[in-house]
Amino acid sequence: MSWAMANAAWFVPAGLLVVLTLARLTRLRPVLRPLLRPLALTYVASTSLALIGSAGGSRWEWLVLALAVPVLMLFVRATVILLHVVFRRSQGVPAPALLGSVASVLLYGLGAGVMAHRWFGVELTPFLATSAVVGAVLGLALQDTLGNLFSGIALHTEAPFRVGDWVRLGDRDGRVEQVSWRATRLRTWFGDTLTIPNNEVARHAILNYSLPREAHSRVVQFGASYQTPPNKVFSVLAHLLEQVEGLRRDLRPVIRIIAYQDFSMLYEVRYFFDDYEDHRRIEGEILRLVWYHFRRHGIEIPYPVRNVFVRHVEGPTEPAETASRLERALRGIDLFRPLSDEELRAAAQRFRLVHYAAGEKIIEEGSPGDSFFVIDRGEVDVFKLLGGASRQIARLMEGQFFGEMALLTGEERTATVVAHTDVDLFTIDKAGFERILVANPSVAVDISTILSERREALSQAEGDITARFEPGTSRSEVKQRLLARIRSYFGV
């Protein structure tokens, strides 16, 4: 007993120190928490053995068995933790739960067999011989379950996808949420949970949308009329894609013609983006803007000729009503005050109606332009760079206008105008307004007078968003300067 007491004298405090140290570490590293209980049981059994010593007898054998059980638990749990750490470091993602489950079952089975043979005298050879027959019976009865198990092991080994990846399994799309020993669980686009048995997953081709981690690309197709030159369509689409958020700016979209169809030329746009789950939003935004941009630039999206379509032709009252609205709006704008009724009607005929979607940028500060806009329906917001930041300075509504200085002098835009709602605008450019000035050059004098008055009285006001007031300059000097610029710009 003196030998046992001598061993216990150093073993008991040393073992207690190890247990307390691990208990402390589990607070800092929760991953070690599964080791605490089997280590404590191992300490208790080891302490009992140290106190008894080598007394022998049945009590000693049972204490050794009591020690072997927590040691096996400690070994299995430590092995599982080690496998998880190695998997995370090699793959960069957490290890699946199935890996730990399979390793635990195998190690516990092996340990239980050794204990049964060592302490209970169970011969494993007959058991292994008969287990082949039992295994065959169980294999036939549980072939689906075992198929799911081994398919799950194969999925974890090959790792065609990971938790969080967007995948296509057969004809079903979803985001991987979990891969267990029996099934793979997906979250569909509609937020539903889809559970697919692993053996079914293994039988189908697997398309992983999230790998590789580089930029993804998608394709959207639509038709345009044969009457529109392809280069014009390319230009409109390139400008449209610059307004779509979420596209990669370092990878230019690819625009090409892919077919001449019965009723249209088929165009394809291949665009690039980072997050796969954004592709539906991006595709919808592209298709939304195509309608507005094509309509604004006179590009027809033809109806299929194989379908009978009865198109309603607008009656003469609708264009007349539109022209009447435009004339009323122009009469309320002092810029057109010098025009006679006949000149005003002639000017109205040179305006065209364009449509912009909510959020679209109509003009941009600092960019060139020669278009003048009158709001027919909807609202627009006006932004200007102040102190290095873009600030909203006005909201314009029906009947208000912007862009007169660019029309008359070719000045760069002094503010950015963005559609607040879907908006219809009447617009005229330099070519349309030039005929008025060429036919009646004296109009330029009257217009320069009006602009000089506006600059003096309404400089930097909400209604005159493009005016540039020059302090210390008299009205007559501003008038002469504006008149000279108008005449030079239009060559009159």
Q: If the chain, 492 residues long, is cut into consecutive pieces of 10 residues, what is the mean pLDDT of each piece?
A: 52 70 76 77 72 58 72 81 74 64 76 72 61 51 56 64 83 83 82 83 80 84 91 93 90 93 91 88 93 91 66 56 81 77 82 89 87 90 87 88 80 88 89 76 71 58 44 61 69 62
User: Is 191:181 a contact under the CB 8 Å cutoff?
Assistant: no
pLDDT given at position 146: 58
Q: Give the integer Cα–Cα distance in Å for 199 and 191.
A: 24
Give the closest residue to 68 by CA, choosing from 128, 113, 15, 25: 113
Assess contact for 465 and 394: CB atoms under 8 A: yes
Pairing of strands 193-197, 206-208: unpaired
The amino acid sitting at 290 is V
Residue of 227, 221, 400 lying closest to 297 (CA atoms)? 227
What are the φ/ψ torsions at residue 403 (nearest 5 degrees)? Answer: 95, 15
> Is the Cα torsion angle 367, 373, 376, 380 positive or negative in sign?
positive
How far, in Å, CA of 85 to CA of 349, rounded? 76
- DSSP assignment of 78-101, as one string? HHHHHHHHHHHHHHSSPPPHHHHH
Q: Residue 135's pLDDT is what?
A: 55
Domain extent listing, the chain: 2-122, 158-208, 216-296, 317-490
Q: Which two tokens stand for residue 269?
A: 């746009």
The hierarchical CATH code for the domain 216-296 is: 3.30.70.100
Q: What is the pLDDT of residue 136?
A: 53
Q: How far is CA 77 from CA 30, 100, 129, 249, in A?
A: 13, 9, 30, 49
Pick one of 1.10.10.10, 2.60.40.10, 3.30.590.10, 2.30.30.60 as the CATH number of 158-208. 2.30.30.60
Reduced to 3 states (helix: H, G, I; strand: E, B; else coil), residue 438 is: helix
Q: Which of 443, 445, 453 is nearest to 478 (CA)?
A: 453
What pLDDT score was predicted for residue 126?
Answer: 62
Beta carbons within 10 angstroms of residue 187's beta carbon: 15
The label of the residue with tokens 């008299």 reads 474
Q: Which pairs with CB-CB distance under 8 Å and at least 24 residues apart come from 34-40?
A: 34/77, 34/80, 34/81, 35/74, 35/77, 35/78, 35/81, 37/73, 38/70, 38/71, 38/73, 38/74, 38/77, 39/70, 39/74
The conformation of residue 303, written as its DSSP 8-state character, comes to P
The pLDDT of residue 461 is: 44
Tell me the residue type at 138. Answer: L
φ, ψ at 298 (rounded to 5°)? 70, 30
Q: List the one residue out of 403, 419, 399 whose CA is nearest residue 411.
A: 403
CATH 1.10.8.50 fits 317-490, yes or no: no
